[in-house]
Structures are given as C-alpha cells and as structure tokens.
Amino acid sequence: MDGIMDSRAFIRVDQLVKSYGTHRALDGVSFGVGRGHTLALLGPSGCGKTTMLRCIAGLETPDSGTIEIGGQVVFDSERGINLPAEERQLGVVFQSYAVWPHMTVAENVGFPLRVRRVPKAEAAARVTRILEIVGLGHAAAKSATQLSGGQQQRVALARALIHEPRLVLFDEALSNLDAALREQMRMELKVLQDRLAFTAIYVTHDQSEAFGLAERLVVMNAGRVETEGGPRNVFHRPATPFIARFLGLNVIEAKMLADRDGLAEIRLPQGTTLRGVLGEGPAPAPGSRVLACIRKEHVRMGHETGLPPLEAELRASSFLGLTEEYVLDLGGVELRAVQPPMGGAPGDRVALAIRPEECVVLPA
C-alpha cells in the first residue's frame, strides 16, 4: 500500500489534529494500513505516536480529522461521529501487562468474552484455543501473577485477540521485557500475525522492534509525519536530517560541489572529497551546505581501492562482543564506526573508507 488514498486501505487516518492546551500533539497526521498488514508508529518520546494510537482506540477524542476502520467511519469531527472504544472492534496491548491478580490465566483471557455475554461453552473453547496459540495452554489454571513477565505479556496478547478483533493496537507492548525476551516476543508476534492475519499497529520508540515487526513505518516528529515507507527504505535512505539523527547515523556538514549522474560530489570540512547518493527532492545547488549521512556500520576501517583515502585518529572504543564501536576524529569531525573488533589504542592513526552508495547526501 503506497498512500492513504489507496482503495485497499483497511485503516485510514486523515488530517488528524489533537491539542492539549497550547501543545499540539497531532498536527494534521494522515496515513493508511492495508488489511492484514502491520504498521509501526516510530519516533522519540513526545512525538505524538501514543496519542495517535489512543485516538484510533477511542480513548482520546481528536479535535478534527477522520478515522476509518474497515470501511466504517469511527471518528469524523465534521459529521459528529465518535464511536466509543467498545464499538470499534479492536484489541489493545499496553506497556503494562494489566493482568488481574485475583483471576487465573484463563479467567484473565476470557474476560472480554464474559463482558460480551458469550455462552460459557463457546467461551471456554475459544480460551483454550487462544492459550494454545500463545503457548500458555499448560498455565490456564494458574494465577496470572505466578507467571514470568514474558508469559504475562502473552496473557495480555491472548486477551486482546480472544474476541477476534479486526485491529490490534500495541502501545510499547514489549518495552518492559528484558532484551532476550523482547527478541523472542518479536518473532512470536510475527508468527502469530501471519497465522491469524489480524491488522496491527505498533507504537514504539525501539527501532529494532519497529523494523522487525512492521511492513510499513510512519516516523513521527513533533506531532507530524516525518516520513512513511518500507522498513528497508527508511533504514537505508533516511529522508530528512531528523530521521538520520534519530536512527543514529553520522551526520556531517559538507559543501556541495556537483551532481554527477545522481551522485553528489561533496567536500568535508577538512578538505576531503566524497561521493554519495542524493536524497529525495531537487539536488542541492553547487556551493550550498549539505549533510552527509553515514551509518556507523558503513564507516569502514582500512583502505579500499577506488575510494578517496581517509585518515582519522582513534579517540575511544567500546567492545560490544561480535563488534566494537569506535569514536574517530576526522580532521576535527567526530565519526562513529561499528566494525569487527580490530583493537587499537587512543591516539592511533587509522585508515577509513566510505562507499558512495552508503553515504546519503541531504540539503542542510
């Protein structure tokens, strides 16, 4: 799906605005999600992503705009439509597990069916099925508080899925888990989403979670959509300096020299000339200020044939196991590199190489 006006969009958000006093949390946000697909709202704290999720869920009332789910308008400021949360046919998995300590696992998971007055026999069968799907069939009779954090998050997930919602919203749902459990749950969620084919929106500030779970990303900044696209494109071709910095790239000021068949020729502050791919939009004019955006993994240690030789001073290093992160001084410009461990001590001179296809040049 390549836009909010795509006729196949299952969820449409159009020009949504939400303010709290003088603070505009959402400033004309628009995007779409295809049926059975996953989208991640990614961005730093305070960018508006959780407010966006709460508006979709019916837990917040926007000031203006429209929200449509499965062809049904659930919010329209001009027409006075605002369906309550319980009528939007969705499930929500929050950051806190929110399991009820006085209930068993089966009672926690079956609670939404009880509220909907589903017959007991049918409810019991559905609870058994969903617990087997999330790997908790053996724990149905246990108190929910006897489970580990990862298991409690599975309870919350099963509870969100038990009534077969058309949409599931995840609000920082994995952030309370340790690193190993987060990675495990990411894979389990991918398998579940493929198996059950629910439409999902993930709200997260965790880039690994967003790239690992979603087929499409919306990166938000200060209440607006900074960019929207596939994970690989957002990752490899940051559209704006904000996204490059948010994703942790090296962002270096430079001067535009020329555009040579789609490759920018630029000059770094210490005089070295580099080439890089141009970002979206018109090419910067010769002589203008630009930004060279380079992933840490793409600052290569050593010489490469055909590339301008660079020499930097090693300032510091941090051993990360399979890799090592280096802080380098390139003629007064700080660069960070992540490479296989090579040793070295502060003050050492090291050769660097940067490939044109791995340097994105954006207007400053």
Q: At what angle do helices 149-161 and 105-115 cross, to 10 degrees?
A: 20
Q: End of a domain among 206, 236, 266?
A: 236
Q: Convert the pLDDT of each residue in 200-225 to its tens digit.
A: 999 998 898 899 889 999 999 999 99
Please give the Cα distance from 128 to 311 (Å, whole number): 63
Q: How many residues does the chain have?
A: 364
Res 2: pLDDT: 40
Res 1: pLDDT: 35
Task: Output the pTM of the full model.
Answer: 0.84
Q: What does the block give as tokens for 161?
A: 């899925």
Shared-domain flag, residues 225 and 285: no
Shared-domain flag, residues 82 and 163: yes
CATH of the domain at 345: 2.40.50.100
Residue position matching structure tokens 């994995």: 174
Shared-domain flag, residues 329 and 211: no
Q: End of a domain among 188, 215, 236?
A: 236
Q: What is the Cα 119 distance to its own chain's centre?
A: 39
Q: Convert the pLDDT of each residue in 22-64 to its tens digit.
A: 999 999 999 999 998 999 999 999 999 999 999 999 999 999 9
Phi, psi for residue 79 in degrees, rounded to 5: -95, 0
Res 261: pLDDT: 79
Q: How many CA atoms lie within 13 A of 100 on its CB side?
A: 11
Q: What does the block give as tokens for 204?
A: 């997260």
Please give the Cα distance from 250 to 296 (Å, whole number): 7
Res 209: pLDDT: 86
Res 342: pLDDT: 83
Res 363: pLDDT: 93
Could you tell me which residues are beta bridge partners of residue 330? 333
Shared-domain flag, residues 247 and 178: no
Shared-domain flag, residues 263 and 320: yes
What residue ranges of the chain have pLDDT lower than 50? 1-7
Domain membership of residue 71 as a residue range: 9-236
3-state SS of the chain?
A: CCCCCCCCEEEEEEEEEEEECCEEEEEEEEEEEECCCEEEEECCCCCCHHHHHHHHHCCCCCCEEEEEECCEEEEECCCCEECCHHHCCEEEECCCCCCCCCCEHHHHHHHHHHHCCCCHHHHHHHHHHHHHHCCCHHHCCCEHHHCCHHHHHHHHHHHHHCCCCCEEEEECCCCCCCHHHHHHHHHHHHHHHHHHCCEEEEEECCHHHHHHHCCEEEEEECCEEEEEECHHHHHHCCCCHHHHHHCCCEEEEEEEEEEECCEEEEECCCCCEEEEEECCCCCCCCCCEEEEEECHHHCEECCCCCCCCEEEEEEEEEECCCCEEEEEEECCEEEEEEECCCCCCCCCEEEEECCHHHEEEEEC
Alpha-carbon distances, residue 83 vs 73, 171, 320 (angstroms): 8, 20, 49
* 203 domain residue, yes or no: yes
- What total of structural domains would you count in the chain? 2
Shared-domain flag, residues 219 and 317: no
Res 97: pLDDT: 67
Shared-domain flag, residues 165 and 103: yes
